[in-house]
Amino acid sequence: MTPSRDLAALLDIMTALRTPGSGCPWDLEQNFASIAPYTIEEAYEVADAIERGDLADLKDELGDLLLQVVFHARMAEEAGQFAFPDVVEAITSKMIRRHPHVFGDAKDLTPAEVKGLWGAIKAQEKALRAQTRATAGLPPEPEAKGLLGGIPTALPGLTRAVKLQAKASTVGFDWNDARLVLAKIQEEAREIEEALDAGASKEKVAGEVGDLLFAVANLARHLDADPEAALRTTNAKFERRFAHIEARLADAGKTTAEASLEEMDALWNEAKGLEG
């Protein structure tokens, strides 16, 4: 089999990998649950390539993400549920249905009107799905309970925190000043200190740390900053500065294991100064 620009070739490769007897033993033992973490990881790698502005890498990462879609579709086909063409039909139908201002008669809409129309169409889709499942004898979809229902639990913690807070804010359960959120962060930090002073259990302290992180995510939301993106930027900064420490110590013939905390802290500040 040779590389190809044809999507059919990719589908054929996945079929071959999942063919008992002649396929790949690792691919054959996978299921939806075992593959799901890889799907999430590949989506993050796409985001990472975009953040780095590396379009060559983005091409490869998009291919890896597409493979995940093909993998799930192939397993569903083996189970007699649906196949890749059904996935394509579902998303093309949805995009046409949700854009009547492009593909239908609803013309010259404002962005606000488009957003309102999108919500109405999603509600119609939900009702249609319920009817279809009932006709097919399938159990109903789990009902989203309360205002905060329906936010996927598999989302990254900070992202889900922001979504929960944003939904709560639609009914006025929110601060109207970022400084008030900052005060809440300070309060949560004090509660961690009090828990440590009181010799609280590991679980209790972890809970207080969770409260602090939730408050920090709320501050990011009020400042119109994506907390996940902000943390990724800080992670990269930490890696960059720590690499400077390692390089400067290596120039001196030392390793980080041989250096004192004071030495490394001084080199950290040096790296920080070089960044301006």
Residue 117 has a pLDDT of 87
DSSP 53: T
pLDDT digits (tens, 9 = 90+) for 234-272: 999 999 999 999 999 999 999 999 999 999 999 999 999
> What is the mean pLDDT of the segment spanning 194-208?
97
Q: How far is CA 64 from the centre of its chain?
A: 16
CA neighbor of 34 nearest in space, from 86, 85, 71, 61: 71
Residue 16 has a pLDDT of 97
Q: What is the pTM of this model?
A: 0.69
Portion of the chain with pLDDT greater than 90, in percent: 74
Portion of the chain with pLDDT greater than 70, in percent: 100
Kindly indicate the confidence band of residue 144, based on its pLDDT and cuts at 50, 70 and 90: low
Residue 227 has a pLDDT of 95
For residues 13 and 1, the answer to whether their CB atoms sit within 8 Å is yes
Domains and CATH numbers, the chain: 7-135 (1.10.287.1080), 157-225 (1.10.287.1080), 229-275 (no CATH)
For residues 214 and 162, the answer to whether their CB atoms sit within 8 Å is no
pLDDT at 107 exceeding the cut of 90:
no
pLDDT at 1 exceeding the cut of 90:
no
pLDDT at 276 exceeding the cut of 80:
no
The Cα 107–Cα 181 span in angstroms is 42
> What is the mean pLDDT of the segment spanning 196-204?
97
The Cα 114–Cα 107 span in angstroms is 10
Question: CA triplet 28, 29, 34: central angle to 5 degrees?
Answer: 120
> What is the mean pLDDT of the segment spanning 129-157?
84
Tokens of 153: 């639990």
Residue 58 has a pLDDT of 97
Residue 136 has a pLDDT of 84
For residues 80 and 21, the answer to whether their CB atoms sit within 8 Å is no
> What is the mean pLDDT of the segment spanning 178-205?
97
pLDDT at 95 exceeding the cut of 70:
yes
Mean pLDDT is lowest, of 85-94, 131-140, 193-202, for: 131-140
> What is the mean pLDDT of the segment spanning 45-59?
93
